[in-house]
Amino acid sequence: MTDLETRVAPASSALGRASSALRRAAPALLGYAAVRALGLVALVAWSAARDKSAHTLLTARWDSLWYTRVAELGYGYEVRLPNGDIHSNLAFFPLLPWLERGLHAVSPLSYADAGLVVSLLASLAAAWGIFAVADQVYGRRAGVCAALVWAVLPVGIVQSMAYSESLFTALAAWSLYAVLTGRWLTAGTLAALAGLTRPVGLAVVAAVWAAGLASLVRERRTSFVGTGSGGATPGAHAGRRALALLLAPLGAAGYVLWVGRRTGKGVFGYLDVQAGWRNGFDGGYAFARFVADKFTSVPGALAGLALIAGVGLVLWLYVVCVRQGQPLPLLVYAGVVTALALCASSYFGSKPRLLMPAFPLLLPLALALARARPRRSAAVLTAVAVASAVYGAFWLNGSGPP
């Protein structure tokens, strides 16, 4: 074999594996794209009926404006509210603005439209990653159902907005898949990138660390047993695993330390920035008070009961995940995302959006759909997709995701 053939063979093999993986995921990706297209059609129709711009709703409201401003002007912008709160754009992690800036530089797209394109592509990558994780754990049919269940979430329209949820979920899902398949360097690198995307990137870091430590414990036990019986030595990938554990937190730690240096407040600088937005971790006290306050009126009581039921459903799904024996990294990741979402003193209307990356919670539902008759599963998913599309259009034209 010539030198050229030696170099081409691995590239050809990698291309073949990627093509095979894409074919395997095709039903999930096509179904996901169809659900998201339905949601966008519903949004355009609803917005037109209310004389609003669907494009503006997707690219130029709420957090998307802050990301666009970072991409265009960099960090340093802040708004001082009448009550003294300071909203600084340092609260927004940099990976999405970096991608917006890069795509704007090489295309005629505006910063806002670049953010929309990044989000749309990232949502497909996220759906593929969710499929890959579920396929690895439960099989192909469960993988297809998992991607579709994620698509039909009531707040699924956020996946098509110039927000960072889709990008983060894509990085998280593929990092978890890399952990499950023993690709440690890929897992650590993607975890670092997730940490540059959202504060909840800590959940991906925790999952990689938990998997790495569990793997180390297993190897030592195997080595101990093997030593007594002439067995094998620890795994050959220990070096890559150790490097992955070092890489994983670099994204989040690097940005937090940079903010601390920029604000002159050291390691607590980012916490001060978040405090200016009234964000923090209080163990769920503020959220509990918010729910309790709902019971001062009859309509509010109904909303309060709905919130309690929603939280109960999330916690029940996590318990089911544990009982079904999901792999440790999925449980750790979903647990940290859920805890940060429910126990943060952030805008309470944001909590459904903050829970959206916790896709392992959806795997019990996906598994149930995969075990049902295909026609029944298709009917359920179609009905929920229509309801999700209508709700997303209504929601985005109303209060929307703060």
Of the two residues 386 and 289, the one the predictor is more confident about is 386
Q: Residue 233: pLDDT band by 50, 70, 90 thresholds?
A: very low
- d(C-alpha 347, C-alpha 156), whole Å: 18
Minimal CA–CA distance to 210: which of 292, 329, 99, 373? 329
pLDDT in tens, 128-152: 999 999 999 999 999 999 999 999 9
CA distances to 26, 93, 109, 198, 265 from 268, in Å: 45, 16, 37, 17, 6
- Over residues 102-115, the mean pLDDT reads 96
- Global pTM reads 0.92
pLDDT in tens, 330-388: 999 999 999 999 988 777 778 889 999 999 999 999 999 999 999 999 999 999 999 99
CA distances to 69, 131, 134, 136, 358 from 325, in Å: 44, 18, 13, 14, 17
